Amino acid sequence: MPKISVRGNEVQASPIRKLVPFAEAAKKEGKKVYHLNIGQPDIKTPEIALDAVRNMNDKVIEYSHSAGNESYRIGLAKYYQGIGIDITSSEIIITTGGSEAILFGMMACMNPGDEIIIPEPFYTNYNSFATQAGVLVKPITSYIHNGFALPSIAEFEKSITPRTKAIMICNPNNPTGYLYSKEELMQVRELVLKYDLYLFADEVYREFVYDGLEHFSVMQLEGIEQNVVLMDSVSKRYSACGVRIGALISKNKEVIATALKFAQARLSPPSFGQVLGEAALQTPKSYFDEVYNEYILRRNFVIESLNKIPGVVAPTPKGAFYTIIQLPIDNADKFCQWLLQEFSYNNATVMLAPATGFYSTAGLGQNEVRIAYVLKIEDLKEAIKVLAEAIKVYPGRTK
């Protein structure tokens, strides 16, 4: 029998989704499963965006331009200009989700064997995209004891080699919820200038910033305009994960021209998704105010409740809708599978994402899990209650 490719074997299975078969089995047994493992909000997609798709009267669903519909790119450029990011429609490529933007960015800017520095824990699929592009991830570790703050610039410099080509950040961060400050980003800017690196930034959670803090974009860093590549998405901003629409943005014309070659190879981004994305740009501020208030309510409840459970450490995230927490357990992968296979409380259980999959350094995250507080508050209350009961009786409890 022919062998699978080396690349295919090297791409890791998603730690967010690898437990799905166990969750499905639990549901078949009649258990209620609370999904805290994946960033799928239960927030309603804006009606104005849904109506745009419902009211389409095109007789033929045609290919769009490979860079995306011009009207959408023009509208998107105005959106960014409105939040202090000065770009034009020609500096945007619409992609099939933010994931494709990341993959296109890596393939356009980096050669096989090049290295990219990423603070860990990080969104696990960065590893997958890097493997597909032949790029080596060099992690630098952030720690729960200081809320997963950006590691020192000295730590970054230790990891720089002649093969280093880029630094990547996610701001606000998935999976930790950490928000990088302007001051921290200015330090990264100095490194980018010193070593002439690309700076990739995943800013898909830009609208979810709490406690009176403000988001500062890498596109606002002066003097490195040609080094910056921004990745974005409609998935979380408009609670429209399934339309698979994102964007790759850069003022570097060569990056855009090169990424467009990859975009042409996949012909065009999804037509219906672009229609929804363009209409979503008209979403009223009241929608975001309501969503903001809901996530604050959920975050505050989850963090307060988790920290009341003996042995649990739950830092307060400043953005996004995730948190990495520490549990009094021996092995996160084993615990998360045990929850689905062997545990229930009032005929319910919880699905979590083991944090091991968000670290690139082997052995880290063994007693940590990621929680996505994307469920309504009533469900979160039940889910945390179930988790607290599970920790009490888990055979591998350590405290």
Q: Among candidates 314, 292, 141, 139, which has minimal Cα distance to 206? A: 292
DSSP assignment of 157-221 equals HHH--TTEEEEEEESS-TTT-----HHHHHHHHHHHHHHT-EEEEE-TTTT-B-TT-----GGG-
Q: Identify whether 314 is part of a domain.
A: yes
> Alpha-carbon distance 275 to 240, whole Å?
12
Same domain, 330 and 350: yes
Let me know if 293 is exposed, middle or buried by CB neighbors in 10 A (0-12, 13-18, 19+).
exposed
Same domain, 95 and 128: yes
pLDDT (tens, 9 = 90+) of the chain, 399 residues, equals: 998 888 888 887 776 678 999 999 999 999 999 999 988 889 999 999 999 999 999 999 999 999 999 999 999 999 999 999 999 999 999 999 999 999 999 999 999 999 999 999 999 999 999 999 999 999 999 999 999 999 999 999 999 999 999 999 999 999 999 999 999 999 999 999 999 999 999 999 999 999 999 999 999 999 999 999 999 999 999 999 999 999 999 999 999 999 999 999 999 999 999 999 999 999 999 999 999 999 999 999 999 999 999 999 999 999 999 999 999 999 999 999 999 999 999 999 999 999 999 999 999 999 999 999 999 999 999 999 999 999 999 998 997
Let me know if 202 is exposed, middle or buried by CB neighbors in 10 A (0-12, 13-18, 19+).
buried
244 and 204 Cβ atoms separated by less than 8 Å? no
Single pTM value for the model: 0.94
Q: Identify whether 398 is part of a domain.
A: no
Cα dihedral value 386, 388, 394, 398, nearest 10: 160
Tell me what pLDDT residue 118 has: 98
Tell me what pLDDT residue 168 has: 98
Give the CATH number, domain containing residue 120.
3.40.640.10
Q: Of 229, 262, 280, which closes a domain? A: 280
> Alpha-carbon distance 201 to 179, whole Å?
13
352 and 369 Cβ atoms separated by less than 8 Å? yes
Q: Give Dmax over CA atoms of the chain in angstroms.
A: 64
The single residue listed with the structure tokens 């933010």 is 98
> Alpha-carbon distance 15 to 37, whole Å?
9
Q: Identify whether 399 is part of a domain.
A: no
Same domain, 290 and 370: yes
Tell me what pLDDT residue 6 has: 86
What's the domain count of the chain? 2
Same domain, 115 and 221: yes
Q: Identify whether 383 is part of a domain.
A: yes
CA distances 304 to 88, 265, 308, 309, 374, Å, are: 43, 48, 7, 9, 16
Tell me what pLDDT residue 7 has: 84
Same domain, 274 and 303: no
CA distances 294 to 117, 240, 346, Å, are: 34, 17, 27
> Alpha-carbon distance 389 to 177, whole Å?
25
135 and 106 Cβ atoms separated by less than 8 Å? yes
Give the CATH number, domain containing residue 323.
3.90.1150.10
The alpha helices in the chain, defined as continuous H runs, are 6-10, 20-28, 47-54, 70-82, 97-109, 125-133, 153-159, 182-195, 253-265, 271-280, 285-307, 332-341, 377-393
Q: Of 280, 313, 343, which closes a domain? A: 280
How many other CB atoms are found less than 10 A from the CB of residue 290? 13
Q: Identify whether 151 is part of a domain.
A: yes
Q: Of 264, 280, 296, which closes a domain? A: 280
Tell me what pLDDT residue 18 has: 81
Same domain, 142 and 274: yes
Q: Give 57-63's long-range contacts (Cβ < 8 A, gap of 24+).
A: 61/271, 61/272, 62/271, 63/267, 63/268, 63/271
> Alpha-carbon distance 37 to 202, whole Å?
20
The helix/strand/coil state of 118 is: strand
Let me know if 339 is exposed, middle or buried by CB neighbors in 10 A (0-12, 13-18, 19+).
buried
326 and 310 Cβ atoms separated by less than 8 Å? no
Residue 229, domain extent: 48-280
